[in-house]
Amino acid sequence: MILLVDLCYRDGSLAREEFVLPIARIVESVGERCRIVHFTRSPGSAARDCKGIILCGTPIMDNGFMDDPSLFSWVPGSGLPVLGICAGMEILTFLAGGTIISCPGIGMTGVRVTASDQLIPGIRMFEAYELHDNACTLPPGYIALAESERCIQMFRDPDRPVYGVMFHPEVGNEWVVARFLTGYCRPSR
């Protein structure tokens, strides 16, 4: 089971169709089940029997998830692999001591891979869709994996499988989510 945390402004919003359900379809396409929980509905308790967490993106200018960052204090202690998408990357940045900065971006952008990682092996460049008001500085100790001309597009925690991506992989880069799931969220054997 993979926990998808809906970060949209209200539980059951229309934005869920655009930013959460496409991620659910990717999860299901690799043979996993998912549980969707809105960030205001105690997702930490829903993570107990899960193998991974995906903090889903939001529409542009939908930043209510940052009104109370303590709602995400459970994430680092979960011990689970985490993929933060756009707004989810902002949460990971905040939790790890980085800074959120204004940096609007809409549309396709060229992404240059800056460090080798199993999530993006053998890839040097790719195109990605971005839709954001903000960008993230690199949290202390984290590794920048990819960037565009304007901002960091992907980072990871140096010690555990915690990734942030500023672009929206559900739009043309589904392979990022699939590799995260198949590389980090499979049961131990």
Q: Is residue 189 part of a domain?
A: no
Quick one: average pLDDT of 47-60? Answer: 95
Distances in Å between the Cα of 83 and the Cα atoms of 13, 94, 147, 153, 176 are 22, 14, 17, 13, 10
Q: Is residue 179 part of a domain?
A: yes
Antiparallel, parallel or unpaired: β 162-165 and 82-85: parallel
Q: Is residue 116 part of a domain?
A: yes
- Tens digit of each residue's pLDDT (9 = 90 or more) over 72-118: 999 999 999 999 999 999 999 999 999 999 999 999 999 999 999 99
* Host domain of residue 169: 2-184
pTM, two decimals, is 0.96
Distances in Å between the Cα of 48 and the Cα atoms of 1, 43, 117, 183 are 10, 9, 28, 20
The CATH number assigned to the domain holding 130 equals 3.40.50.880
Distances in Å between the Cα of 149 and the Cα atoms of 113, 138, 175 are 12, 15, 22
Nearest Cα residue to 89 out of 151, 29, 33, 41: 151
- Tens digit of each residue's pLDDT (9 = 90 or more) over 115-172: 999 999 889 999 999 999 999 999 999 999 999 999 999 999 999 999 999 999 999 9
Q: Which residues are catalytic?
A: 86, 168, 170
